[in-house]
Structure formats: structure tokens, C-alpha cells
Amino acid sequence: MAPSGLHGKKLLLVIAGGIAAYKMLEFIRRGREAGLDIRTILTAGGAQFVTPLSVAALTENKVYQDLFSLTDESEMGHIRLVREADLILVAPASADLIAKMAHGLADDLASTALLAADKPVLIAPTMNVQMWANAATQANIATLRQRGIQLVGPGKGDLACGEVGSGRMAEPADILAAVGNLLGLRKAPLQGKRALVTSGPTYEPIDPVRYIANRSSGKQGHAIAAALARLGAETILVSGPTREPDPLGVTVHHIESAREMLGACEAALPVDIAVCAAAVADWRVADASDQKLKKDGSGSAPTLQLATNPDILAGLAAAGAKRPKLVIGFAAETEKLIEHAQGKLARKGCDWIIANDVSSGSGTFGGDSNLVHLITRSGAEAWPRMSKLEIADRLAQRIAETVSTTTHQAHRPGASE
């Protein structure tokens, strides 16, 4: 059954190459019955499986194919196609087009329009099982998810190539339901909530060219910010130096030092949720030099006097009237994981601790997977090893369930879970 409330919504549909393209004729029929206004970009590969005439007849709109068409660009340029849409759907999303999206290529109308997109994007991947499992494809998918692009499917089953496994495109009804969800027909669980996330390392200057830092990549914190935004939260990300792209739909404040991070966090209050995933340096140089420190020829190393950095997690947990309903910290430990995390929970006055092992060989710092325990006052909950994106989604869902059923009173420091 088609989602109600789609009448008048504008969808830009990109049909890429793949035998599953024929299913999009059924999708278009269902979408039009539900009231969608559908404009279509048909790639050269897509046109091998469905004709422009059939797509145009069902959408009752012109089909766009050529980036350099003088007529199309003068009447409805690719930028206008994107700007007038409420949502962009790529279905089927081929391995080739997914790779172009991940790497910012723009060599045809579809990839150029997607690079210019300022609207939510939903993709329905389909390909051979080995192509889907390939490390390059999975890396591209992870990149797109980090940027806030949504997926529907793929499912498992018989594939057109004769093999069986993951890579089967979602059915038209499932794609239409996903379109309805993204267009806001179902209230997001964190809609109306504000979330603050910290991520990455901090750099504490020694002099203008040297600093104290750590190995945090920011992958987990950025993934959490993106996951909270996908659930509808107005999300603020305070990030130390990292190579991670800014998540789509998230307000990002870039900082370097712990004191700068504290200032940005305090400026973001009040919020409903605070997740302190950043690896904040515990110490800084008390009196950093404004000139590069030089060797004096004596062979002696300079003495650095360290000062303690502000405790951002404890500060947010003790923020009085501005205290978030839910304050979550991270404990990166190399030994006695649960014991140290439980101690941190008690000292900081926060509600939850996500404990993870960052010892040598764990692959956590800089890696794409994580093994964590959720520590509350009720005990420790072990989660299986997952990708950092999967951990972010699971944590965001748990946050949504908790915030919707608790009050500020229930999450005072010392309150029971």
C-alpha cells in the first residue's frame, strides 16, 4: 500500500544501469498513484533496460539523459532539476554510480546532478553478490552513509546473474515506503530534540609547530552525529582535527584544543542529548611557546610543564539547569575495560559510558570497526563487534528510546537507570 500524504511531493528519480531497472516502471506507477510528481534522469546504462518513452509515459514528464543537451539545459538545467526536488532517489544504484558518488565524479548528467544535490538522497543498490561484497564497494557505501545518504536494501535472494546472495534491489513497495519515511510522513523519533556530539582528538600546542595529540580518527563520533541527525535530532558536532567529512545535515564546529572544545560545547547548550566521543587530551603545556623551540647545543631536552585540561564530560554532567537529559561518555581503555569504565561513570556523573578497547592490536583507533560495552548504573551490556556505522545506529536508536520515555529528573547524577 502506498504511503499517504505524498501528493504534490517532487521526486527526482535517477535510473542507472542494471536489470532491476525494469522494476522502476512499477515504482513510478505506484508513486504516481500516491500523488508523487516524478522527474527522471535516465543514464546510458539505464536506457539499455528501460526506454525513455516508457518512463515518460508513466511519469507524464520529460525524461532527461544528456548533460550537454542545449534544449534540456535551457529549459530545465541539471541544477534546477535538483533544486526543485524534495528528495532524490537513485534506483537502481549501480556499483559504478555509487563509486562516482563516493568520489565526487561528474562525467554525465546523473553524477553531475548528484554532486550538485542539496536535498536528501536515497539509493537502492543492486549488483552481483561479489561486486556488493567487494571491499571497494563497501568502502564507497560507508563513505556515502557517513555523508548522510540513506539506503534501502539490497536484499538477499536470487540474482539475475544466476547467483544467490546480497545484491538484490529492494522491491518497489519497499522503496516507496522508504521515500515516504524520508519525506517526513512518519515523525522521526528524535524530531524536536537537540543533540551535541564531540568527536576526534584535540591538539594541545607546545609551540607553533608542535603539539600533544592522540590517535583518534573521529570516525565513531562523526558516525554518531550522522545517526542522530537521521533520526531527526538537531545535531551539533564539535570536532577536533580529523580527515572525516562533515556529516550531512549536522552543524559542525571545528576546533583544535580542549579549551576551544569546551567553549563550543557550552555555547551549544541547552541540548537534550550530549555524546562525548572525542578523545580529549588530559593535559596541555602550561605555557606554550609562541616561537619554535630550538635546540641549544647542550644536548638537554626542554622541560615541559603540563597543566590539566578541562573535563568536558564532567562539566556537561554537572551543568545544573542546562544539564542534558542524557549525558554519554566514552572510555577508551587498554586494560580492565569494564572496571575502569564503571569508575569513570561514577566519577563523571554521566548517565552512560561506552567502553571500548584501544589497546595495541585492537584496530579501534583509525579502524572501521569497534567492540564496545554499554555501561550504565544497571550494569554492563556487551555488544558484538560491529562497524562504527552500525554502532552509531544502534546507539542512536537506544538514545531515542530512552529520551522519549524519561524525564530530566530521572537522569540526575546518581539516579538509577
Distance between CA atoms of residues 264 and 257, nearest Å: 11
| Pairing of the two strands 251-254 and 194-199 | unpaired
Task: Exactly one of 161, 265, 276, 350 is catalytic; name it.
Answer: 161
Is 330 among the annotated ligand-binding positions?
yes
**Residues belonging to the chain:** 417
Q: Three-class SS of residue 12?
A: strand
Torsion (CA) 131, 132, 134, 139 in degrees, nearest 10? 130
Is 313 among the annotated ligand-binding positions?
yes
Is-catalytic flag, 161? yes
Location of C-alpha cell 533544486: 83
Distances (CA, A) of 100 to 108, 130, 278, 379: 10, 19, 31, 45
Is 311 among the annotated ligand-binding positions?
yes
Smallest CA-to-CA distance from 399 within 387, 386, 385, 411 is with: 411
Distance between CA atoms of residues 169 and 152, nearest Å: 8
Q: Three-class SS of residue 45?
A: coil
What are the contacts of 233-237 at 24+ separation with CB within 8 A? 233/190, 233/191, 233/193, 233/194, 233/195, 233/272, 233/273, 234/193, 234/194, 234/195, 235/194, 235/195, 235/196, 235/197, 236/194, 236/195, 236/196, 236/197, 236/268, 236/271, 237/197, 237/198, 237/199
Residue 202: partners with Cβ closer than 8 Å, 6 or more residues away: 213, 240, 255, 256, 257, 258, 260, 261, 278, 279, 280, 281, 309
**Which residues belong to the annotated binding site?**
282, 292, 310-313, 330, 344, 348
What residues act catalytically? 161
Binding-site residues for CTP, in ranges, read 282, 292, 310-313, 330, 344, 348
